[in-house]
Amino acid sequence: MPVQLVRNDITKIHCDAIVNAANSSLLGGGGVDGAIHRAAGRELLKECMTLGGCKTGQAKVTGGYKLPCRYVIHTVGPKWRGGNDGERQLLESCYRESLRLAEEKGCESVAFPLISSGIYGYPKDQALRVAMDVISEFVMEHDMLVYLVMFDKASCQIGEKLFSDIQAYIDDNYVALHTDVNYEMMREVQESQLFWTEDEASWKGQQSEMENDESMIPRPAAMFSCPVQRQEEEEAQQDSSFRVMEKKSSASGFQRLKQRKEPDEETFDFVPMAAPSLEELVNQVDESFSQMLLRKIDEKEMTDVQCYKKANIDRKLFSKIRKDVHYKPSKTTAIAFAIALELPLEETKDMLMKAGFALSHSNKFDIIIEYFIKKQNYNIFEINEALFAFDQSLLG
């Protein structure tokens, strides 16, 4: 996927270029700068000495030497001075200039540390926001894999407000499902829904009767026949001049019919119809994940490129899905497309079902996805930051 948040030491990342959060002398220092120089060896310093320094917000490139990358892009982030001294613009420029150089050098992958967020004191949540904004905008237009490397847990702080909102949402939903009191509450809600799934009019009048009738213990809707229908069946069974038949009404459903018997007709109560053959059932297979995806892209008047970029999915994976009508994506890929298409919750669930998945309240990942969809926040990069902050798998 084009943007990956990873927790690692940047000197260990195998990619075309890594970015160094340097100072304007470019002659080494502490933090990530020190780690890069130590891992690359003295040859890196020698080359840096030929560069004549670098201004804040600018970037320069050297070889990678002993590092597992071809290039090191050195950029100088702004020192934090309270936020009103052009820090944001300078930090944006660090990311833009570094990405521009990476592209110029033909890099297909590049790894960034969270520039300025250490010794230079830029608040980590704001530094992450700037990094993600610039990088996500860039990958929309370019085919490059960009790693944003978080060294410590504190680096992946999303805004405090967002974090506590999501935490509260998880607590309300996740914890709810895991306490006896709420099991009871959910059971009641489910039961009350079951009563209203069939012919509402005929149910309403009989509700109080049903409450006193033990045989009316709620069961899943599919197991019910509506009381009026049941009564007819019972009458028909008692009255030998009628027969009750099951008529095939759809590929998998049967409808019960009451018919008057002919006087000399043999008596029988139920005439089971032949079940559809396996072949018939297989031929009625639903629209696949890939078909639904392509249909939705058309309906939303998006281009394929817009969709897979917005989904943080790389081009090769998208073309595999496009070519293979039966392609089974991973859950994170399927959700990424639902997010890119800005599907509401129910449609997201439909799309996931096509790939054999569901959303539930029994894991935090699903709850976080639901939180963002309900808020109609379809920014996949923000969702990934939140997932990362909660130690969950990322989308795309």
The residue with tokens 């032949």 is: 274
Residue 158's CB is within 10 A of a number of other CB atoms, namely 20
Q: Can you tell me which of 3, 10, 102, 317 binds ligand AR6, judged by CB under 6 A?
A: 10
- Residue 77 engages ligand AR6 in binding (rule: CB under 6 A): yes
- Residue 226 engages ligand AR6 in binding (rule: CB under 6 A): no
- Residue 90 engages ligand AR6 in binding (rule: CB under 6 A): no
Based on CB atoms, which residue is closest to ligand AR6, 56 or 136? 56
Based on CB atoms, which residue is closest to ligand AR6, 90 or 321? 90
Q: Can you tell me which of 35, 51, 194, 294 binds ligand AR6, judged by CB under 6 A?
A: 35
Q: Which one is catalytic: 9, 16, 33, 152? A: 33
Query: Any catalytic annotation for residue 264?
Result: no
For residues 182 and 47, give the distance between their C-alpha atoms in angstroms, rounded to a whole number. Answer: 65
Q: Each residue of 104-137: b (16+ CB within 10 Å) or e?
A: eeebebbbbbbbbbbbbebebbbbbbbbbbbbbe
**CA dihedral of residues 301, 305, 308, 314 (deg, nearest 10):** 170
Number of amino acids touching ligand AR6 (CB under 6 A):
25
- Residue 78 engages ligand AR6 in binding (rule: CB under 6 A): no
Is residue 394 within 8 Å of residue 384, measured between CB atoms? yes
Closest CA to 130 of 153, 98, 102: 98
Based on CB atoms, which residue is closest to ligand AR6, 62 or 348? 62
Stretch that binds ligand AR6, among 117-125, 259-267, 293-301, 386-394 (CB under 6 A): 117-125
For residues 68 and 83, give the distance between their C-alpha atoms in angstroms, rounded to a whole number. Answer: 35
128 membership: H or E segment, kind and range: helix 124-141
Q: Can you tell me which of 56, 62, 93, 117 binds ligand AR6, judged by CB under 6 A?
A: 117
- Residue 149 engages ligand AR6 in binding (rule: CB under 6 A): yes
What positions carry a catalytic annotation?
33
Name the residues that contact ligand AR6, by CB under 6 A: 9-11, 21-23, 29-33, 35, 77, 113-120, 149, 151-152, 155
